[in-house]
Structure 1
């Protein structure tokens, strides 16, 4: 199943497992499937009293670690897709209620085609990303889509770990960013040699974000760990992560979303991993957790 194929049944399974309603539902709008605003999905999310959180994914496929042949940053900056972006913005405006939206997910990770590696390298890549982010936001805003909250989304770790690829180099400017999103994963595959905790990632990235944009709210747009990795206990990893989130040790943090998915040998679903739903039910019962964005 592709990332845009989210279903009400999947949301039901998560909410029943954790015993709480969600504030937003996060999903991809993959342009290899459709360039249109995902109205039907946004409507059923709204009907559940949640906010659509759309990953605007201008890409030709879900393949990673490859250059983008069609929706390259140069092509976007040239205006090749301005009509599509304006139509998307008009449909988002007509939707009428709040929408969270991001473009350039995890830009400091070379797995996605908008990373600098694929767009001119160390010299040109980060600048092209910044210019493209601004172009997309300004083009969509130009049609009056003022019900959108724009999220700039990075990974907790720069990959490659090089000076030119530091997340700070991709920041497009305070005027086009409303929220900052961050991904903080543990091991994502059973055979992966990764023992990083959630706190490891947060303690690495949050001071950098505070220096970069101290007035912007931060949300953990994605966090999770797989079951079945002998080096990491998924239940303990998640319990420590949720405890850290609720402890207010990162004051800029305002929201979080577990990546509740399974693929290949990876299993991250709360409702499937033994013992995990009990941890979520306990932690999410806290009065600090709200089921609506402020």
Structure 2
């Protein structure tokens, strides 16, 4: 960032272990990232810089964001400023690593006195040698970010177009190597050299690769970038991915060194800073920039209020980042070995497989008749699932479409459903759902297998998911579990299954969902009207499943879908499980009801699904779907709920989830994605993310059982 040389600032962040990272971007990083900060919040009495620092500023900052930073960065110009042993010791005492942005110039001096050639000539060797000797005497590893943003034109050492000193990339490289060699000559090998160009953009920056001094002179590489928006003429509002994407591609093709985000922040206007933080840190960095091992937040008031607490919402978002398992790392004193760079590295993930490709690893595989449980948590698991490695296979984004108010309706009403409703929905959200779900009831024998509807779905490259209901919430004892198991409806079930078999394509059959509640005729939850027991439900499920098998309807993939365990109306979901041999996918239904249900708090996606997901994944190794979900508008920002759920919670806390179905309807409330413009914008944004481009690859069961 452009700033006066004399300015000095400091940090915020977390604990991350330096990984040996890939150079090709094939999967999200699963290693914790070190979250750091430059702390210069004068109004908040939190200043850690080269002249006025109070080490307790770091403690106050940690109190604000919820933890001590893992990297503490500050700026130091030349002149009489020697190595700051006291400051560095204060940082290491707090279990963080110092990062000194060492600027080879003096703020008030003639810039020409500090050209690259002037420094390389030996003019300042006495000062540098004394500084390096003091660093060597201190002895602890620290990050030395020397002569940063060199590819710009705003510093005396800059090589960018129109720079005032006429520096060339060759001049800069000579300067870097001269200073580096001087440190080596006095034994200051505890300095870890960070080469940090600015993210390339606009007429004032040159190609960053031209200034690279070589792997033998560098330990870490870094990028600086800000969402300036209106602070720069003609600058669009940019996400973190847009800021760093092209430069990250260039950088990771240039070298295999570990990558840092040297400086970053966003302004408040033009969009939600909170959403920018959430998206940038919980999605963009882990999934698009897997070689990043640390990120430094610029926490200061300068051109604008760059601080994390510029608003209460941005502070809350940053506190969530600070608490995320993805940011619990700490940089060690030795950088990882340098792999060879890969010229094809890219921050854009490979798109999901096309509908005609083979099954991806977490799609169900039928070569093995039954799956064994995996990832079983301990008996003391908490309500929020313990984070597993981030899912890297992607998630299929689906929808139940019943927006009758806007003629976007694709439901179980065969006579009224128009497949073009899927196209209208796709136009609204920006893409066709990968899964199209609808409900269909036993209640009328006219409700046969909906061949026309499933054809409409498959023609659009989507997977049909039929929530097949043996009755409804008002159909009474005629559709109890025992009634269905008795054979009373076998003729209808057999006819339906034969039509499904004749159609022939694989589809998801979500039969008798939310069975652990007490609101359906097949329910087994407390005080259910038909006095069904879990054993009754399991018998019903197996009976219907076996009819399908008997007529060869093995293209039906069985989805067992309890409701999330919640309050006095739901029973333990595990009691109703019919067994791996009768199930292909497991699912969970859950909503953020808030005031729509008595005494229900406002809950995030993680809070809605956490404990039930823990139970489910301990019980079976089957792939997991979110069968239904949505949030109310009142009580919090629905847009934020969506962003947090899809860009943070699902990828990091629910790695076994392979598909999510949004309930886009007007029912108890307006559950639709367009209940507000901000909610629609958030969902449209989600729909563009590479991790949500997956298509489920369904495979017919060979012997009738999974």
After TM superposition, the score normalised by the length of structure 2 is: 0.38
1:9 CA displacement: 4.4
Is 1:31 aligned with 2:430? no
Distance in 1 (alpha carbons) for counterparts of 2:575 and 2:420 = 40
Q: Is the 8 A contact 1:182 1:219 kept in 2?
A: yes
What pairs with 1:181-200 in structure 2 (closer than 5 Å)?
181-187=587-593, 193-200=600-607
| Alpha-carbon displacement from aligned partner over 1:198-232 (angstroms, at most 9, x marks no partner) | 1102221111011111x2000111110123x2x23
Distance in 1 (alpha carbons) for counterparts of 2:470 and 2:578 = 18
| Alpha-carbon displacement from aligned partner over 1:116-171 (angstroms, at most 9, x marks no partner) | 243764xx611100111111111111100111110000111245367xx2101000
Distance in 1 (alpha carbons) for counterparts of 2:440 and 2:651 = 33
1:235 CA displacement: 1.5
Asked which structure has the greater RCO (Cα within 8 Å, sep 6+), the reply is 1
Change (3 A) 1:290 1:81: same
Change (3 A) 1:25 1:189: farther
Instruction: State how many pairs are aligned.
Output: 282
Is 1:155 aligned with 2:559? no
1:245 CA displacement: 4.7
Is 1:288 aligned with 2:682? no
Q: Is the 8 A contact 2:559 2:585 kept in 1?
A: yes
Moved more, 33-42 or 254-263: 33-42
What is residue 469 of structure 2 aligned with on the other side? 57
1:14 CA displacement: 2.6
After TM superposition, the score normalised by the length of structure 1 is: 0.87
Change (3 A) 1:256 1:76: same
Is 1:97 aligned with 2:505? yes
Is 1:269 aligned with 2:676? no
1:97 CA displacement: 0.8
Q: Is the 8 A contact 2:422 2:432 kept in 1?
A: no
Secondary structure, counterpart of 2:520 in structure 1:
coil
Is 1:118 aligned with 2:118? no
Distance in 2 (alpha carbons) for counterparts of 1:159 and 1:113 = 19
Q: Is the 8 A contact 2:590 2:629 kept in 1?
A: yes
What is residue 44 of structure 1 aligned with on the other side? 456
Q: Is the 8 A contact 2:548 2:554 kept in 1?
A: no
1:35 CA displacement: 3.8
Q: Which has the higher helix share?
A: 1
What is residue 21 of structure 1 aligned with on the other side? 432
| Alpha-carbon displacement from aligned partner over 1:44-97 (angstroms, at most 9, x marks no partner) | 1122221210011111x454xxx7232221111111111111111110011111
Secondary structure, counterpart of 2:438 in structure 1:
strand
Secondary structure, counterpart of 1:185 in structure 2:
coil
Is 1:79 aligned with 2:487? yes
Distance in 1 (alpha carbons) for counterparts of 2:464 and 2:594 = 25
Alpha-carbon RMSD: 2.3
Moved more, 76-85 or 43-52: 43-52
What pairs with 1:221-232 in structure 2 (closer than 5 Å)?
221-227=627-633, 229=634, 231-232=635-636
